[in-house]
Amino acid sequence: MNPKLAIVGAKGRMGQHLCRLAESEGWGVGAALDQGDDIKAGLSGIDAVIEFSFHTATVPLAQCAADLGLPVVIGTTGHCADDLLAIRECAKKIPVVLAPNFSVGVNTLFWLTKKTAEILGSDFDLEIIEMHHNLKKDAPSGTAKRLAEILCDVRHLQYQKDVMHGREGLVGERQKTEIGMHALRGGDVVGEHTVVYAIGGERVELTHKASSRETFARGALRAAKWLLDKQPGLYDMQNVLGLTT
């Protein structure tokens, strides 16, 4: 018999894709939960949980899953530092995959972003551009933040201090340590991310464009399967895809 999945945020854009695709990826949908439902009751008899809802919903859900010993895939973005600490606490009791982006292509972009920054060295100016649909609530996107974190790691920079969100007015010349971050919103764009490496005489751009949310849903279902036999801990999609040791 197929393992049973609970989907939290089931009425949302991602939730609907997950409900539709779960069976073809070897899952039974045991619970399709959304705002107003009794989450704890809904998780009884379930083997794993996937959550794509709202940032304030994630920690209560993860705590519930930790009490019940259920693996959780967290797709929601926009968490604050306290949320991330609480998720880390839950991951001491259960296996958790937390990823800002579940697409295989974007996870390849993460890998390429690091490699390219290492190869080009510290003289190149770094900028990140992301674009999403006009209903997206958080900015910059979780994926863009992760790209900036990867660049900060390679260049020994600090996200809070060195990432410059947009530019307006007399901001002065660009600092060598700056990472520019630009969030565009409009239409029905599912998700586009570009990392720009620029120096006098040449420019490298790495771009990923998602044209359907199905890619995130399939990745999340794959992550949930991967979690079924894992020890408690906090994992990401790079672990699921075997892109890290």
Interface with ligand NAD by CB under 6 A: which range of 20-28, 42-50, 73-81, 160-168? 73-81
92 is an active site residue? no
Distance of closest approach, residue 11 Cβ to ligand NAD, in angstroms: 4
Catalytic residue among 132, 145, 182, 193: 132
Interface characters, 3-32, with ligand NAD (x: CB under 6 A): -----xx-xxxxx-----------------
Q: What is the per-residue DSSP string for 35-102?
A: TTS-HHHHTTT-SEEEE-S-HHHHHHHHHHHHHHT--EEE------HHHHHHHHHHTTTSEEEE-S--
Spatial contact of 5 and 48, defined as CB atoms under 8 Å apart: yes
Q: Which of 52, 110, 124, 226 binds ligand NAD (CB under 6 A)?
A: 52
Of the two residues 78 and 233, which places its CB atom closer to ligand NAD in the complex?
78
d(CA 147, CA 194) in angstroms, rounded, equals 9
Catalytic residue among 4, 11, 93, 136: 136
Strand, helix or coil for residue 150? helix
* Residue 214 within binding range of ligand NAD, rule CB under 6 A: no
Per rule CB under 6 A, count of chain residues that contact ligand NAD: 23
Which is it for strands 125-132 and 179-185: parallel, antiparallel or unpaired?
A: parallel
| Token representation of residue 156 | 């020994």
182 is an active site residue? no
Question: Positive or negative, the Cα torsion across 77, 80, 82, 85?
Answer: positive
List, by residue number, the catalytic residues.
Answer: 132, 136
The residues binding ligand NAD (CB under 6 A) are: 8-9, 11-15, 33-35, 52-54, 57, 75-78, 99-102, 216
